[in-house]
Amino acid sequence: MWVVLLLVATLAGGWWVTGGAPADELTAAVDHVRGTPALPPPTADVVALADAAHLSEKGRQIFYTTRPQILDAAAFAGRCGDVGVSPRLGAGGRVGCYEPGSDSIVVYRPADPRVAGQAVTTAAHETLHAVWGRLTPAERAELTPILDAATAAVPADDDVHEQIAGSVGAHAENRPTEEFAYLGTQVDGLDPRLEAVYARYITDRPALVAVDTGLRDLLDGMAATITTASHALVDAENANGQARAQLTADRSSLEYYRQAYQSKADEVAAMSSGARSRLRLSWVWWDGTKLPMAPAEQTLASAAALIARDDAALAARDAPITAAAAAAAAERTRIDASVADLNALQDQMDPTAAH
């Protein structure tokens, strides 16, 4: 026991004399003397998140010290629901948390790589909670009113207000740390005094904020594309429906005139040749075409020609309408698939839905 105490004293004395031994090295040495296992090296997944979050060396040291767990939906279930945990809220609920008592971070990572940025923002967010707990009371007291002012300056319709309120809940005392974490990861261009603090732990904060912005832009862009395509499809379906209805009406009109023609032709055919030669007819066709007064056989011949003309024209109109209907049906299927993809992507961001 005396040997252990002597070694600890020597370590402390060496640090006092040099004034330069990093705190993490001293802690590791003391832990080794006390028999406490040193922290394991961070996993490749943890390092990748630290890289993507643009954490500085100091930021990485804090992040790694919290022994972050990067979990899928099944493993994440129930991990961030305890009182005293600082949760980050995503689109569907809690997606990560920092437990001050155990100084530990849990991050939910969606399976779909398109929304992998959520885990990056969450990792940085929870790291900033750990940072806040390590700031001096004087620093926290100085930053709190600056954070309040910065939050008030964010547009009222920004989701960050709802996220902060949801994470604070009934624990008003947690508002400063929540503002510190949310603003630091999701809002750019803050007070220089805040930026100076963030710069200790994040090397490129605009790039970090862009991760969250990019994720929002992805989802908003998908939704906007679906909306635009849906409106265009409705217009096309309406136009096609009107064209089909008009074609149906025109066919009915032609059929009526066909029967009228046939009836008149039969009537004329039944006349004597003298009566036929004296009979004169005129006709206004269903589409407004005028057949002027002329010998009956001439008028009937002109009507027969109009029937042949209209049969061909109506058949020609049918083909593009049928093709347009098929194209609209294919587009409807494509849009429905896009909606399902967006819904699935949003579900991926919510561990309770993805599980």
For the chain, percent of residues with pLDDT exceeding 70: 88
pTM of the model: 0.78
Side-chain half-sphere exposure of 112, counting CA atoms within 13 A: 16
Average of per-residue pLDDT across 294-312: 97
Mean pLDDT of the chain: 89
Q: So what's the pLDDT on residue 90?
A: 80
Domain ranges of the chain: 42-203, 221-354
Question: What is the C-alpha to C-alpha distance for residues 91 and 97, in angstroms, rounded to an integer?
Answer: 15
Average of per-residue pLDDT across 265-285: 95
Q: So what's the pLDDT on residue 354?
A: 74
Q: So what's the pLDDT on residue 197?
A: 98
The one-letter amino acid at 117: G
What are the tens digits of pLDDT across the range 68-97? 999 999 999 989 886 568 889 887 789 999
10 near 3, Cβ under 8 Å?
no
Question: What is the C-alpha to C-alpha distance for residues 206 and 189, in angstroms, rounded to an integer?
Answer: 8
Question: What is the C-alpha to C-alpha distance for residues 95 and 163, in angstroms, rounded to an integer?
Answer: 12
The one-letter amino acid at 101: G
Q: Which helix (H) or strand (E) holds 52?
A: helix 44-52
Q: So what's the pLDDT on residue 3?
A: 31
Q: So what's the pLDDT on residue 72?
A: 95
What are the tens digits of pLDDT across the range 104-140? 999 999 999 999 999 999 999 999 999 999 999 999 9
Q: So what's the pLDDT on residue 84?
A: 67
Question: What is the C-alpha to C-alpha distance for residues 33 and 152, in angstroms, rounded to an integer?
Answer: 49
What are the tens digits of pLDDT across the range 203-218? 999 999 999 999 999 9
In the numeric block, which tokens belong to residue 125? 């967010």
Give which of 302, 265, 269 is closest to 283, Cα–Cα: 302
- Transcribe 98-119 into DSSP letters: EETTTTEEEEE--SSGGGTHHH
Q: So what's the pLDDT on residue 83?
A: 59
| Residue 258 reports pLDDT greater than 80 | yes
118 near 90, Cβ under 8 Å?
yes
What are the tens digits of pLDDT across the range 237-248? 999 999 999 999
Provide the b/e sequence for 193-206 (b: ≥16 CB within 10 Å). ebeebbeebbeebe
The one-letter amino acid at 247: L
pLDDT-derived band at 353, boundaries 50, 70, 90: confident
Average of per-residue pLDDT across 172-186: 96
Q: So what's the pLDDT on residue 38?
A: 74
Average of per-residue pLDDT across 316-331: 97
**Phi–psi pair at 301, nearest 5 degrees:** -65, -40
Average of per-residue pLDDT across 143-156: 97
Q: Which residue has the tokens 């429906």?
A: 241
- Report how many helices (DSSP H) and strands (DSSP E) the chain contains, helices first: 14, 6
Beta bridge partners of 55: 202
pLDDT-derived band at 22, boundaries 50, 70, 90: very low
Question: What is the C-alpha to C-alpha distance for residues 215 and 193, in angstroms, rounded to an integer?
Answer: 27
For the chain, percent of residues with pLDDT exceeding 90: 82
Low-confidence winner among 1-10, 190-199, 339-348 (lowest mean pLDDT): 1-10
The one-letter amino acid at 148: D
